[in-house]
Structure 1
Amino acid sequence: MDSTTPAASHATWTPPVYDMTVAPKCPDGSVALIQYEDATFRYPELPTELLGISVDATTLPPLPKRLTQPAPILDYTWYPSATIRDPASFCFVASVRECPVKLLDASDGRLRASYRIVDHRERQIAPHSVAFNTGANRLYCGFEDAIEVFDIHRPGEGTRLHTTPSKKSRDGLKGIVSTLAFAPDMSSDLYAAGSFSPSAPSSSNIAIFSESTGEVPVMFVGAEGQRVGAGYGVRASVSQLMFNPARPYLLYASFRRVEPIYCWDLRGDVTRPVEIFTTLSPTAPIGGKVRKTSTNQRLRFDIDYGGKWLAVGGEDGGISVFDLLAAQADTVVGENVAHTDSTPRNMPIMQYDGHHDAVGSVAFHPLRPLLLSVSGSRHFDRSNQSAGHSSEESEDEEEDEIIACDEDAPPSDHAKPTRITISRQRLQPTSQDSSVRLWGFGGGTGVGV
């Protein structure tokens, strides 16, 4: 999320105040860089009055409605200090399939620089995850069994860090590096990497690296609990990793088709999570619905800059908000939860219906008590598929031609095969709700929406 920064009236920054006692309001307007299914970037502009700042509109450059890419977008991230007021920093990195990594100008979409990742077959590799380091001078890109590191001031090729000695080796971090996250601490050069490959009995799929030590992991994170013995992590693909902005020693992780979000404290025993955040409870439904965990879609969570609130969307369109500072002694145990140890389980302090489809991502505003949410997922409806077909084939139809011979026919007829043409329509995915909403948690202070 990008925003303009008001002139500082004092030297001490305080995090925004969120009122979680009432449901938020949803205004018309938002500001963000949004990835769409049609391989485009778009960013609706948030009204400046919503942020409580006065800006001369004539001084801001007009933003294009969309930035079209030649192939599907795998991942993207803003430059850490990007702002529309500073043209030099107003840029972002995009990973587009079968293309070099692009550094794009956010004002017009022009290419500023490109960073090439080439495999042993001289093919272009598009990473599945991209992240800037804390100093914003290096770009880290994760792909299969490796992380490529680029100096952003030197376009071209980078330095490859192998996360595993070889494909046959059981050591290291194996599989596609699906997510990268840097600890928000200038005194630390640690970053976390997770892979799509589920953790094996002998290794975890979350590793902690150091920029100074290179490709040798500092430690591996996560055990599933006493129920599975000395396990090495949640048996699922890692979807997202994020450090707490105010407490950088806390690492949070979400997994594919796993509803809870796990938290580890890197200062102590990293083989067991210190907290688990879940909505799977009979006493916490959303509009009479129970949280689903069947989607392979990434449902990205976010933590506010004060390190107090964690928000995440669900497959059913609901949005849950957790209080990270509240300690909950009671342990929630259900049939859908695989843990039986004493790890504290926190329930959301607020849940509300945000959209009518899966909430793919949420993001807190860095300066104001605002939460951005986007929704949309692929749905295939076979009921609309026509039983018959016309003589003219459309773009979304394919013809299957079957040539059959009748074995009981006379020998003279064997040379005349019967041609049967079957026309079938390709199923096109649809979305029940592709929308962007901005939620205000103003309460008694901050900006009311």
Structure 2
Amino acid sequence: MDIDIVKDVDQPLGYNESEKDASATCVAEESAYQYPALFTSKTLLELCSSSWSRSQKAQDDIQPYLRGCKWSPDGTCCLSVVNNDGVHLTELPRDLYSNSPAPNRTIDILDSIVHIKEAGLVYDYCWYPGMNSNLPESCCWITTKQNSPIQMWDAFDGSLRCTYRGFNAVDEMEPALSVTFSQEGSRIIAGYKKVIRTFDVDRPGRDFAEHKLGSPATCFATDSNLLAVGSWNSTINLYNVNEMGTYKSIGKMHGHSGGVTHMKFTPDGIRLVSGARKDHRLLIWDIRYYRRPLNILTRAVNTNQRVYFDISPCGKYLITGGTDGVLKVWDVDQVDWKNSLETNEENSDDATYKFALHNDCCNSISIHPLRPILATGSGQFHFRDPMTGLEGADVSLQSNGMAIDNITNEVDTDENDLRYSCEAENSLVFWWIGDIVTEENVLTANVDS
């Protein structure tokens, strides 16, 4: 099964010498684009929201909480994964494509324009890096889930385009633990328990190149020809990838106390930020001197769940969520998180801004690629309290003739442990993090003009 992916949008068929000047002008206009300032008003404005709740007939272990959200490369829509409910695609309202929203703007309720019901657990997902809504053939993403191959989905109608299947030594198909595209979008890099497999995007099926690993590849970060591979054994391997897809090891980084779950390069490609499960630290690495972390930032991560963070396209802000529902922001102009830190400052909390956005775990963070808009997702699996046998507010029982409130009061429980909390919040929210235009601002602008 063949698929059509646009390889080079800048030089289409029929490109000739007479079009060079026009092309150079377009490139100059694109390079002149300046990313808008963020957090200038030191407040967040809620724009849109969507939520998921468990059906009354569903079993206790069926909890539809968010497990990640990612803006499309062109910024027109947001892709989110919901536990036990598959993949949802939501569009950005058209009025947010330009200008700043008014403070009294009505909050939109987001509806999924595409919903792919996935039966298994979705391990990882990734947009095609050249995605452009004006080119339907480029609008797609890939997912990898439990007991399934890598699947490519169409972003317009949610249809399955093709699959990429990895087989082990005994010819058994095995699912990938993590997936990503190469930066130019010509290859799919998939991490398995003991190998990395590279697929050609134009050749779906079971044709792949293989590179052996000593530990599972649980997450990736790419920049140019660099590939960082995180593992459950708390290490990060750094590779140089040539044009043929061959991996050359550069070094290994140690520092996390749990399995690495998310990583991202800064826009300059010099530094790498990494986070891990049950590890309250975000480690900043300088890949030129990777023997020890360059800087250490703190956040709340009390579970094995993947808690995402993001770096603004301008490279100035680092934003992360946490299991306490608090959004933390580091501004490089106020907190120089890109430079070295003394070891005795490891436990200090020097975040520039803090926003208590959610009552539940804030596990998903994604910054819009063009506009000052932030997408956040909340939710986690809520266990039954082993002391009371109750889970959240969904259980309305009485035990031995005693009211639930009395049982809860008699048992000394940790109120800060959101895993047993009745405050379950499974939502996707868009926030405005740029300048907020008020009537005073408009009047001032008119007078000045």
TM above 0.5: yes
| Match in the other structure for 1:272 | 292
Find the aligned partners of 1:218 and 1:52 in 2 and give their Cα distance: 43
Residue number among 237, 241, 265 corresponding to 1:211 in the alignment:
241
| Match in the other structure for 1:305 | 313
Is the Cα contact below 8 Å between 2:228 and 2:238 reproduced in 1? Answer: yes
Residue number among 192, 195, 214 corresponding to 2:231 in the alignment:
195
The yes-or-no answer on 1:435 pairing with 2:438 is no
Find the aligned partners of 1:308 and 1:124 in 2 and give their Cα distance: 43
Gaps of 5+ in 2: 1-25, 51-76, 100-110, 400-419, 442-449
3-state secondary structure, aligned to 2:138: coil
1:343–1:94 distance in 2 versus 1, CA, 3 Å = same
Find the aligned partners of 1:8 and 1:52 in 2 and give their Cα distance: 21
Find the aligned partners of 2:158 and 2:303 in 1 and give their Cα distance: 32
1:35–1:104 distance in 2 versus 1, CA, 3 Å = same
Percentage of matched positions with identical amino acids: 26
What is the aligned length? 346
The yes-or-no answer on 1:46 pairing with 2:92 is yes
For 1:190, give the aligned amino acid: L
Is the Cα contact below 8 Å between 1:29 and 1:44 reproduced in 2? Answer: no
1:429–1:42 distance in 2 versus 1, CA, 3 Å = farther
Find the aligned partners of 1:436 and 1:63 in 2 and give their Cα distance: 11
| Match in the other structure for 1:66 | 115
For 1:130, give the aligned amino acid: V
Q: Which has the higher contact order (CA 8 A, sep 6+)?
A: 2
Is the Cα contact below 8 Å between 1:318 and 1:359 reproduced in 2? Answer: yes
Within a 5 Å distance, the mapping from 1:264-413 to structure 2 comes to: 264-267=285-288, 269-279=289-299, 291=300, 293-328=301-336, 340=343, 347-381=350-384, 382-383=389-390, 384=395
Find the aligned partners of 1:133 and 1:148 in 2 and give their Cα distance: 12
| CA RMSD of superposed structures (Å) | 3.2
Q: Which structure has more helix as a fraction of its residues?
A: 2
| Match in the other structure for 1:10 | 29
1:315–1:63 distance in 2 versus 1, CA, 3 Å = closer
Residue number among 244, 248, 254 corresponding to 2:266 in the alignment:
244
1:216–1:431 distance in 2 versus 1, CA, 3 Å = farther
1:123 Cα shift?
Answer: 2.5
1:211–1:23 distance in 2 versus 1, CA, 3 Å = same
1:79–1:345 distance in 2 versus 1, CA, 3 Å = farther
Is the Cα contact below 8 Å between 1:163 and 1:215 reproduced in 2? Answer: no
1:233–1:442 distance in 2 versus 1, CA, 3 Å = closer
1:135 Cα shift?
Answer: 1.2
How does the TM-score come out when normalised to structure 1? 0.70
Find the aligned partners of 2:346 and 2:48 in 1 and give their Cα distance: 41
1:192–1:9 distance in 2 versus 1, CA, 3 Å = closer
| Match in the other structure for 1:180 | 220
Is the Cα contact below 8 Å between 1:24 and 1:440 reproduced in 2? Answer: yes
Is the Cα contact below 8 Å between 2:114 and 2:155 reproduced in 1? Answer: no
For 2:318, give the aligned amino acid: L
Is the Cα contact below 8 Å between 1:370 and 1:439 reproduced in 2? Answer: yes
Find the aligned partners of 1:21 and 1:346 in 2 and give their Cα distance: 22
1:327 Cα shift?
Answer: 4.7
Find the aligned partners of 1:325 and 1:152 in 2 and give their Cα distance: 40
Larger radius of gyration: 1
Is the Cα contact below 8 Å between 1:63 and 1:107 reproduced in 2? Answer: no
Gaps of 5+ in 1: 1-6, 54-61, 165-173, 199-204, 222-231, 280-290, 334-338, 389-427
Residue number among 14, 26, 33 corresponding to 2:79 in the alignment:
33
Residue number among 234, 250, 256 corresponding to 1:234 in the alignment:
256
How does the TM-score come out when normalised to structure 2? 0.70
